[in-house]
Structure formats: C-alpha cells, structure tokens
Amino acid sequence: MADSTADLVILGGGSGGYACALRAAELGLSVVLVERDKLGGTCLHRGCIPTKALLHAAEVADAARDGDQIGVKSSLAGIDMAGVNSYKDGVVARMYKGLQGLVSSRGINYVSGSGTFAGPNTVEVEGDRYIGTHVVLATGSFPRNLPGLEVGGRIITSDQALTLDAVPERVVVLGGGVIGVEFASVWRSFGADVTVVEALPRLVPSEDEFCSTQLERAFRRRKIKAKTGVKFTGASQNDDGVTVNLESGESLEADLLLVAVGRGPNTAGHGYEEAGVRTERGFVLTDERLRTSVANVYAVGDIVPGLQLAHRGFQQGIFVAEDIAGLNPPVIDEAGIPRVTYCEPEVASVGLTEAQAKERHGAVQTLTYDLAGNGKSQILRTSGAVKLVKAGAEGSPGPVVGIHMVGARVGELIGEAQLIYSWDAYPEDVAPLVHAHPTQTEALGEAHLALAGKPLHTHG
C-alpha cells in the first residue's frame, strides 16, 4: 500500500469535483482528484451535455418540419439516430478531451479508480492511500427507480435513453420533472407519440405554478399528453411492448417506458457513514459553508441536499477551494442559482416562486408580461411569458425576488435575471436599462417597466 499526501484530496471528478480541483490548483494547492469513471462525470457523459445535444437535434427537426410555415421549402425526411448519436458523442468527446487537458495542465494528480473515504482525511483507491489536509466528497448521483420496478429491456432510465439506436413510436415517460419533460420534448420532435405521467398535480412541480400552466398548454399544442395527479402502480413488458398501469385503472401501451423520477445521491459504498460523515436519506449533511460533520471534510454537488444542478456543484467546488485557501468567499445563495429546463418551450427561473415569496415576505406583487408583445419572440414563433415576483404589496417599494420565464430560448435570458435577483434590484432600477431591439431580453425590460408603473407594450 503506497501513501501519497496533498493539500486537497477530492473524491469524484464531476462538475463539483473537477471545478474544485482546477480552482484549488490555481490557488497553489496540491491536489489529488479521484474518479472511478470518466472525468466530467454525469453532466458531461450522461446528463447535461448529451441531452442538450439531443434537444438541439430536436430543434433542427422541428425547423425542418415547419419550414413551409415561414416560406422555406423544407421537410423532415426522418431521424437518423446513428447520425444524431455521432453528433452528440462528438460534442461530448471534444469537451472531454479539453477537460482532460485542463486537469493535466494544472499539475493535478488525477487518479483513475474506485475510491473509498477511509477517514478522517484519507481516500483509498485500490490499495493506495491518498491523504489530504482537506478532503472533498463529490461522488454525484444516479437515476432513481421505484420499488418493484425493474429496469431493463423496454423499461429504461435516462442513461439508456441517451444511447437508443432508433426512435420509438410510443413512449411513456414516468416523471414530469426536468429530465422527464426534456426527453418527452425530444421524442415528440423526433415523431414519437409521448405521454408523461406525473404523480404530483402539475408538470415541473418545483417551478412556479405559472411555469407549469404555460408548459402544459404548450405541450397540449404539441400533442404531448400529460397525465398529472395520477400515480403509477406497475408495468409489464414483452417482445411487443410495455404496459404501464395507473392508479386510476387506466393502462397505457408503449414501446418504451422511461423512468425519470429524479436522481439519488451516490453515497452508498463509499465509506462515508463508517467514517462518521452524517447523512440523511443518503445525502451528506453540511453547514452553509459545505463542511461535513468530520473536520476538514467538505461535500459538494448532488450528494448535498438541494438542487441537483451541474452549475450548482461547479460553483460549490469553486467555493470550497477558495474557502480552504483562506479567501473566505461569500456563502452561495441557493435561491440565486438559475434553473433551466431545456424542453420546447424552455422554462427558466431564478429566485423565489410566488408561494415561497409570500411565505418569506408576506405581501407580494406579481407582473406577467406575455411574449406576444415581444418582436423577437414573434419572429421565433414562440409563445410564453415572463413573470416577476416583487417583495411588498402593490404601491410599496421592494426588490424583485423571483423571475420565471417560459418560451423558446428563454434560458439565454437567465444571466440578466440572475443579476436582477442577486443585486436585490427594484423594478425602478431595471426599467431604465436599454435592451437591444429586437431581442428577447426586451421582454425582461418591458416586464420591469410595467412593474415600475410605466407599461408600454401591454394592454389594460
């Protein structure tokens, strides 16, 4: 057994782990980064990047199918999944190569192998021990399943959905959260008949209710069926397809069942609890500075309770590196983390929902601006809206504490929305800003003009 020491040993090379490694090395710390699979983790190889590549292919398919509607003679001859997968895998491969080069160039000791946290400051990898002054746990997440439901054959998770070699004719998507509605959107654009089953009363249930209403309306127009407020009771499969049974007594026939009921923390078998790390339902508990119950041991990313987003883990990794280096970075505001669902239309939000704002601030004022009044949105032929939530009753001053958007490409607006929220901007602060015309950012400007009491492109 060989021992190796470093200022920082990181277990997990996904978004949180590699960001922490890069920033720590930049700050002059010696770093060991341990990853059992591929550098970049779920986000790069089985999550964010490949799914968004599929969503772009879906957007191109829709554009080809609908070209005649804007005077462009085009049609969709079909979907070549081998070609789609080649495009998707090429994007992943280029980013993977670039990330490997970054880690190598920073002098990080990259260890490929399955690591176990042996505590109090040691990670063991296949007989070797890596001892850190500080340790960061960043082992990510896995696709959840439901009790009694066996994944295999025609019952798949997002991992298998990314490697399909053909477009299914009929799909049932179990789960109406981010992963479920994104795959539903892709498959519908590729020509499949899609039904989404969600046990909660609405799609994207963690978003403001306004977003759910807008998305469900758009999905109906796209002929994506959504069965909300109904529970799944079981599924059976044979060579011809899969039958999905619902608590309502209804049965759905499909070629595939996608299980998209969220992701679980990948903490089992890594030695965390045995080493004294406090966990709850598999998640590692931390304080606001991401310190675990074991001294000098931090946790970042999907294993920490909260939003399971790659950019959250990425920022947490940077935060921890700077904290260890003594820079005393400000605590990350979880509500200020932007959220984007990349279906068609997109859902993007930052800050508090209306319900959360009422709970925190009491009286609130809301304003909804319809994208029908936005020139670029009309050019893109998208519908949707921007909803603002302001702290304080109508007529009283207060900051904008929530921004919620639905429409094509609104995820690209989330940067300005995040600044508005994070700077505690009042509507009157944003209203004078000049937004280029014609852009969708004007929708944000118009919404704030209206909330500041000087509406222009609005009726009533």
Catalytic residues: 437
Calpha distance 362→124 (Å, rounded):
51
Rounded-to-integer distance, Cα 45 and Cα 95, Å:
10
Closest of 392, 382, 370, 397 to residue 459, by C-alpha: 370
Strands 339-341 and 346-351: antiparallel
The closest alpha carbon to 244, from 231, 257, 227, 225, belongs to: 257
Non-local (6+) Cβ contacts of 95 within 8 A are 40, 44, 49
Q: How many CB atoms lie within 10 A of CB 402?
A: 24
The C-alpha atoms of residue 79 and residue 280 are separated, in whole angstroms, by 44
Helix (H, G, I), strand (E, B) or coil at 399: coil
Residue 276 three-state SS: coil
Are the C-beta atoms of residues 7 and 133 closer than 8 Å to each other? yes
Please give the angle made by the CA atoms of 107, 47 and 87, to the nearest 5 degrees: 90
Residues 6+ apart with CB under 8 A from 86: none
